[in-house]
Amino acid sequence: MISANLLAIFYLISGVLFILALRGLSSPETSRQGNLFGIIGMAIAISITIFSVGNFSTGFLYLMILILIGGSMGTFIALKIPMTAMPELVAGFHSLVGLAAVFVAVSAFLNPEVFNLGSSGNIKIASLIEMSLGAAIGAITFTGSVIAFLKLRGIMSGSPITFFGQHYLNLALGLFLLGLIFYLCKTQVDTWFWTIIIISFLLGVLLIIPIGGADMPVVISMLNSYSGWAAAGIGFTLENTALIITGALVGSSGAILSYIMCKGMNRSFFNVILGGWGATDQSSSSKSKEQKPVKSGNADDAAFLMKNASSVIIVPGYGMAVAQAQHALREMVDVLKKNGVKVSYAIHPVAGRMPGHMNVLLAEANVPYDEVFELEEINNDFANCDVAYVIGANDVTNPVAKSDPQSPIYGMPILDVEKSKSVLFVKRSLSPGYAGIDNDLFYRDNTLMLFADAKKMTEEIIKSL
C-alpha cells in the first residue's frame, strides 16, 4: 500500500504531464514530445492506482485482461481509421468517456464505502451532488456524441431535426434534472439517481438532433468540453487530483474550441446550440432562384490558367474530404511547383467537420505545414494572387457575408477569394451550400466553374498539365 499523500503527489505529477502534453501542441515540432508526456502521465496514473489498491490476485488478472481487450480494440481502431473519418472517430471516443464517467458514478453510488463517501443510503451530500453532476454530464456526453457520430457517419441525416417547443422541453428537462439532484440529496432514494441518468441520456439526444451538419465543428468541441466537465465531476467525487486537473483542462479546451468555431461563423454559441439554422433559410434561397450567367470550364482551361500563373492559393473545404481529393491535390501542386508556380493553402477556421480537419488531411497528403495558412495570415494575399483554386469549400468564400446585411451569414469572416485575378471553383453543381445561400462568387466575371467531383477534376487537371 502507498500512503495517501504519496498517491496524491503521483496524481499531481500526472496532471502536470498532461498540461505539458497540451503545451507541446503549440508547434508541430514539440507536439510529438508532448504526446509522449501525455502517455507517461497516463502510465503513472494507472500504475500508481493499481499499486495503491495493492491486491494482486484474481481481480488484478481481470483488470489486465480487460485493459488488454480495450487497448487492442483502441489500437486497432487508431491504426485503421482513415484520416477523413477523424471527426466521427473523435465523436465516438467522446461517447466512451461519457459512458465510462456514468459507470464510475454508478459504481460509486452503489458502493460508496470503497471511495470513502459514506455508506449506502447515507452518502455525503457533497459527494452525492458531485457524483450526480458527473453522471448527468457523462450521460449527456454519451448520447450526444452517439448522435453526433451517427450524423457525421451519414447513418443519420445531417439535417436538423426540430419540433415545436423543443427548446422549452430541453429547458424543462434541465430544470427537472436539478430538482431530481436536490431530491436525491434529501432522500437518498436510488430511484432518483437512476432517473437522473435516464433523463440525461434523453437530454443528450434532444440537445444534438436540432444541430445541422456544418455546425458539427461546434458540437464536437462542445462534447469535448462536456466530457472534461464529467471527468472533473467524478474527480471531485473520488477526491482525485489527476482527474480534477485533467477535467478542467479538457473542459476549458473544448470550450475555447467551441468559441473559436462560433467566431469563425460569426454566430453566438446559443445560436448554434439552439440549432435549426439550415431549416429556416431554405425558404429564402428558393425565392432568389433566378438564372444568372455562369462561366464554366473544363480541366484544360484550369490547367492553362494555373500553369501561366505566378501564384496560386488553394482553398480546401469539406468537399475535399468527402471526395478524398487531398492526395490528388498534392500531386497537382507538385506539378505546378515544378513549373515555378508559387502555391499556398488557405484554411478557414470552420472548414470541414471539426477544428483543424483540413490541416490533418493536407498533412496526410504530405503537404508541408508551413505552406498552409490560417485565414488572418493569408487573406491579404488573395489580392496579389493569380488563381484561387476553391476545392470543396463554399460558404466560407461567399462575398455576400461582407456586402449583404440581409444574408444570414452576414459578418462571417470569409476568405477574400474574389479579390484574386481568377477563381477556379470546383463543385459538383450550382446548388447552394449548407447555409442555403447562393454564392455570389459563381456569377462573377473572374470565376470559372469546374463542374465535377473534386478528386476527378483535380486528376484531370494533372493530366492536362
* Single residue of 166, 170, 188, 253 touching another protein by CB under 8 A: 253
Residue 409 contacts residue 435 (beta carbons within 8 Å): yes
Q: Residue 252 or residue 296: which is nearer to another protein going by CB?
A: 252
Residue 252 near another protein by CB under 8 A: yes
Number of residues that bind another protein (CB under 8 A): 117
Cβ within 8 Å of residue 227, ≥6 positions away: 94, 97, 98, 101, 138, 141, 145, 250, 254
Catalytic residue among 395, 416, 438, 440: 395
Annotated active-site residue 381? The verdict is no
Residue 235 contacts residue 243 (beta carbons within 8 Å): yes
Dihedral (C-alpha) 216, 219, 220, 222: value to the nearest 10 degrees? Answer: 160
Residue 363 near another protein by CB under 8 A: yes
Q: Which positions from 68 through 97 interact with another protein, judged by CB under 8 A?
A: 68-75, 77-79, 81, 83, 86, 89-90, 93-94, 96-97
Give the CA angle between residues 332, 336, 338 to the nearest 5°. 120
Residue 428 C-alpha cell reads as: 459538383
* Single residue of 35, 157, 159, 380 touching another protein by CB under 8 A: 35
Dihedral (C-alpha) 414, 418, 424, 425: value to the nearest 10 degrees? Answer: 40
Residue 378 near another protein by CB under 8 A: no
Q: From edge to edge, which strands make up the β-sheet containing 422-427?
A: 372-374, 342-347, 311-316, 387-391, 422-427, 447-451
Q: How far is CA 389 from CA 68, 338, 385, 401, 434, in A?
A: 47, 18, 11, 20, 20
Residue 318 near another protein by CB under 8 A: no
Residue 441 near another protein by CB under 8 A: no
Q: Which positions from 97 through 116 interact with another protein, judged by CB under 8 A?
A: 97, 99-101, 103-104, 106-108, 110-111, 113-115
Q: Which positions from 175 through 234 interact with another protein, judged by CB under 8 A?
A: 220-221, 224, 227-228, 231-232, 234
SS3 465: coil
Residue 60 near another protein by CB under 8 A: yes
Q: Residue 79 or residue 155: which is nearer to another protein going by CB?
A: 79
Q: Residue 85 or residue 169: which is nearer to another protein going by CB?
A: 85
- Which of the ranges 15-23, 167-175, 428-436, 448-456 carries the binding residues for another protein, by CB under 8 A? 15-23
Give the CA angle between residues 413, 416, 420 to the nearest 5°. 175
- Which of the ranges 8-16, 163-171, 321-329, 430-438 carries the binding residues for another protein, by CB under 8 A? 8-16
Q: Residue 267 or residue 348: which is nearer to another protein going by CB?
A: 348
Residue 143 near another protein by CB under 8 A: no
**Residue among 401, 402, 422, 347 nearest 378 (CA):** 347
Catalytic residues: 395
